[in-house]
């Protein structure tokens, strides 16, 4: 199968960096084809604007969605955006590897979505949710959080983690048609021992070996 791993962490020696490298190693050893988008190392620019496009629909007034539709019709996306879009279109499974920052994805990953998930190309004309462009593809969030698991329960300090992730699960992934898998979460890795972190990597490795047998979750029940 074909897998895209998108990494959004500035430090490769972090737990996210280790999970990213473990993911590539495991999936390739299982015979899968892997492509990556390492947003910090590639210095991906998350800021949208006319730089997204080679073409222009309206030079007097910038409305991104109209420019996206026009670029879809005229092969007008900038090269860096076209490259990322083709990776998403290519894959059978997309993995986002990131830390939760301020109860959402890091800005560089949100900006990647803003620029890459273009109207006309990835959604539009009633192509969303069950009829989304990426119907039949799978997506999973692999993430770290700073607090322990009890803090992310329904009555915990930060509230139910699935509630925190719902705008991502539903508003970004399910909206464009992906089947969303149960998120893979590592709680407070900074407070774990070396042995505990190694066990977490082994848990990720074992899950990835069977990832294509997993069923999607219902993103609407949270």
Q: Other C-beta atoms within 10 Å of 191: how many?
A: 10
Q: Which of 205, 174, 158, 166 is nearest to 30 (CA)?
A: 205
Q: Which of 41, 37, 42 is nearest to 23 (CA)?
A: 37
Do 220 and 170 contact (CB within 8 A), yes or no? yes
User: Which residues are known to be catalytic?
Assistant: 146, 152, 158
| Structure token pair of residue 69 | 């539709």
Q: Length of the chain in residues, anyone?
A: 222
Pairwise CA distance, residues 129 & 51, whole Å = 28
Do 109 and 8 contact (CB within 8 A), yes or no? yes
Do 52 and 67 contact (CB within 8 A), yes or no? yes
Do 50 and 62 contact (CB within 8 A), yes or no? yes
Q: Which residues make Cβ contacts (< 8 Å) with residue 61, sequence separation at least 6?
A: none
């Amino acid at each position: 199968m074909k897998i895209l791993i998108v990494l959004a962490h500035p430090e490769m020696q972090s737990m996210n960096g280790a999970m990213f490298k473990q993911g590539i190693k495991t999936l390739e050893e299982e015979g899968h084809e892997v492509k990556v988008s390492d947003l910090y190392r590639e210095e991906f620019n998350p800021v949208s604007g006319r730089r997204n496009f080679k073409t222009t629909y309206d030079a007097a007034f910038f409305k991104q969605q109209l420019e996206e539709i026009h670029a879809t019709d005229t092969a007008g996306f900038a090269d860096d955006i076209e490259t990322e879009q083709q990776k998403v279109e290519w894959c059978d499974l997309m993995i986002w590897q990131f830390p939760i920052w301020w109860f959402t994805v890091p800005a560089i990953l949100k900006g990647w979505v803003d620029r890459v998930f273009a109207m006309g190309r990835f959604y539009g004309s009633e192509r969303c949710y069950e009829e989304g462009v990426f119907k039949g593809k799978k997506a999973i969030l692999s993430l770290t959080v700073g607090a322990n698991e009890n803090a992310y329960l329904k009555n915990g300090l930060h509230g139910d983690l699935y509630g925190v992730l719902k705008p991502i699960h539903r508003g970004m992934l399910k909206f464009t048609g992906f089947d969303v898998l149960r998120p893979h979460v590592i709680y407070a890795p900074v407070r774990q021992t070396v042995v505990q972190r190694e066990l977490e990597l082994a848990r990720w490795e074992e899950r990835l070996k069977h990832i294509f047998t997993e069923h999607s979750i219902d993103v609407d029940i949270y």
